[in-house]
Amino acid sequence: MFGRFLIIVTLSAYSFSPVVGDETMPPQAFNQCANCHTTAAEGQHRNAPSLNGIVGREIASLPDFDYSDALKAEKGIWTKARLDRYLQKPAHAVTGTKMYFRGLRSAAERNALINWLAKNSVPTVSSPNSKKPTLGAIARTERAKKLFRPCTGCHSYTKDAPAKIGPNLFGVVGRPVASFPGFDYTARILARGGAWDADSLHIFFTEKKSFGQGSHIAFRTLKEKEDRDLIIEYLGALSNNQD
């Protein structure tokens, strides 16, 4: 119970709560977007392109962002109606999209989010700690090891090592989800699909998970993008360092 409380507190520190009567504040649905998107102009992206000016913008048109081939093949502009279809179920709206987001079922939430994006293109929505100084190489390595240490309680991470409570993390970056041989994955992970790339790992490290077997409830959410970058780099380096 106490562990669940800590996770909720950690997440709430970076949530955006709408203020009654203040149309510049993002709606609650934007909390999910903020994991991967900013609303900053001039090429300030995270793992996904900036949403600044998205309503009325040509699809896959920002020159400094590497869009998926599936999205590049789409024609036209992001109208409100098209955004509504995409946000409802991205994987159905654009087959092959890299966007790992299950969608917003609520039409009211989609409408509030799209209208807010249309009216508030310029302000940047970011966490209060987003301008921290960059770590040096040695400090980055030590920080990555510290972040990874809790993972070793449930996961092995060397070549050919058997699974523990969780599957072996050796070579996990780029591996299809739920694919470690012989491991009994939960239905929640089996239904996830896709591969463990940088985008899907960033989302996994930030999303709220309900309590239950295979829920990673013991894992502390990584709210800082720099920390998520570090642990993903560290996971990617594991296989390279043990060949």
CATH 1.10.760.10 placement within the chain:
17-119, 137-240
CA distance 123 to 129: 17
Q: What length is written for the chain?
A: 243
Q: What are phi and psi of 2, to 5 degrees?
A: -65, -40
CA distance 56 to 13: 32
Considering Cα of 163, then 167, then 169, then 171, what sign does the dihedral take?
A: positive
pLDDT at res. 122:
44
Q: What are phi and psi of 165, to 5 degrees?
A: -65, -35
pLDDT at res. 49:
83
pLDDT at res. 94:
87
> Which residues share a beta bridge with 217?
none
3 state SS of 213: coil
3 state SS of 5: helix
DSSP string, 151-206: GGGT---STTPPP-SS---TT-TTSBTT-STT----HHHHTT-SB--HHHHHHHHH
pLDDT at res. 23:
58
pLDDT at res. 160:
93
CATH, range 17-119:
1.10.760.10
125 touches 38 (CB < 8 A): yes
> Would you give the end-to-end CA distance of the chain in angstroms?
42
**CATH 1.10.760.10 for domain 137-240:** yes
* pLDDT averaged per 10 residues in sequence order, the chain, 243 residues: 36 37 70 76 68 86 82 87 90 81 87 85 42 68 90 90 93 94 88 86 76 55 84 87 56
pLDDT at res. 34:
75
